[in-house]
Amino acid sequence: MKLTIQTGKIKNKFNQIMRFFDRDPERIELRATRDWNLILSFFIFVNIVILIASTMFFFSVNKRELLTVTELTADSMSRLDKDKVQKAAKVVIEKERIFQELLNSPTKVVDPSL
């Protein structure tokens, strides 16, 4: 099997690509309507894609395909680390005690002019 490369087609494609970059800047005409239409159509396309993706996400969540809710069972309750739960509860109770202490204590007014 002999591998032959057709350089003529490759050169033609390369020349077509280079012709796009070698344009004369004086001959390029600016058309604002074309540019604005391109920008507007791009943003409309992006908004449509976002709308479709968010709709698909909404319906998949609504059907409970993505997020599943499981009921607590005795087995799942036994898997909790009771020491860590008690430690977390103690921290919350201590913060609540400090808050009540600050709430019930009179404020100390310090006069900066003295």
pLDDT digits over 6-23, tens only?
Answer: 677 777 877 777 776 666
Give the mean model confidence (pLDDT) for residues 58-82.
Answer: 75
Q: Which two tokens stand for residue 48?
A: 């449509």
Q: Is the pLDDT of residue 56 over 90?
A: yes
Q: Which two tokens stand for residue 91?
A: 């921290």
Sign of CA dihedral 81, 82, 83, 87: positive
- Please state, in angstroms and rounded to a whole number, the distance separating the CA atoms of residues 81 and 83: 6
**Per-residue pLDDT reduced to its tens digit, 31-47:** 778 889 999 999 999 99
User: Taking a C-beta distance cutoff of 8 angstroms, is the pair 60, 66 a contact?
Assistant: yes
pLDDT band at 91 (very low <50, low <70, confident <90, very high): very high
